[in-house]
Amino acid sequence: MSTDANIFEAERTKLMSLCYRMLGERAEAEDAVQETWLKWAAADIEKIDNPQSWLRRVATNIAIDTLRSAHRQREIYVGPWLPEPLVQQEPQEPVHHFELAQECELALLWAMERLTEKERAAFILREAFDASYSELAGTLGATEAACRQLVSRSQKKLQESGPRFDATPEEVAELSQRFFMAIMTEDFDTALSLLTPKSVAISDGGGKRRAARRPLLGGAEIMQVFRALYEKAKSEPGWTTQMLMVNAKPAILRYQFGQLDSITTLAPDQSGKIAWIYIMRNPVKLGVIDR
């Protein structure tokens, strides 16, 4: 392997993490990293003073262009669009080239959808990769002062999104167990008490599986749907569940006859109640069928 390829391979995992955080989908992230490699292979490496910064800048701008196109595609997506989950099958098993990306929880990826492309890039580079404002300016083609504003605006928007992003895995696991145990024991009053009038549940079926075509808003509406789903599941055979780590947080994986049917995880609010519920049913994003 050439020295140029060695340099790129040393940065590949970080680039994959960056692009996944920007785009929220594995295939899109992999394509962006591959395009970064092609630009790197064609560059005059000897004239690049800081290869790591150069690669981050190129990958970020490729991801920004991809994200602009993706936003147009998501406008015609069937039902709500949710970021693709990264499932950790074993406690210490990394996902190839996505080890760092797993640290980005799904609630944060979802909340970042309300940011502009440049706000998202500035936030990720600053918060996840500790990039200097000088590097942000060079990457985004803006002044350092403008980049400080981008980071500040992104932080404010994310703080206003509802879910907490600092909840520990233990807190999420305990809240998940209480909520789903209450549903499975038909203690619907307890399950409802864990939700609030501002709770949001979003399901992504991608037009390939049944899912709500809009976000469910408030505890009463959410419980009405969860109760109906539970009653339906009771009448059908072959259902099993498992709790695994998904994007660094515990999630409930539901299977029918051994095939993954859904991934559900949640994020608490400041009071410790459920602020946000993520339900992935799209079989493409679950890896059940090919794209």
Q: Which domains does the chain have, with CATH numbers?
A: 3-159 (1.20.140.160), 169-280 (3.10.450.50)
C-alpha distances (whole Å) from 126 to each of 106, 131, 150, 248, 282 are 19, 5, 10, 20, 32
Average pLDDT, rounded, for the chain: 93
Instruction: Tell me 50's DSSP state.
Output: -
pLDDT at 234: 86
Whether the Cβ atoms of residue 23 and residue 112 lie closer than 8 Å to each other = no
Confidence of residue 96 (pLDDT cuts 50, 70, 90): low
Residues 6+ apart with CB under 8 A from 29: 16, 19, 20, 22, 23, 63, 101
Q: Token pair 């990293």 is at which residue?
A: 33
What's the whole-number mean pLDDT along residues 26-41? 96
Q: Give 165-180 pLDDT, tens digit per residue.
A: 999 999 999 999 999 9
Q: For every residue of 67-124, which 3-state class applies, written as one string?
A: HHHHHHHHCCCCCCCCCCCCEECCCCCCCCCCCCHHHCCHHHHHHHHHCCHHHHHHHH
For 246, the token pair is 């998904």
pTM as predicted: 0.92
Start-to-end CA distance of the chain, whole Å, equals 31
Looking at the predicted structure, is the pLDDT value of residue 232 above 90?
no
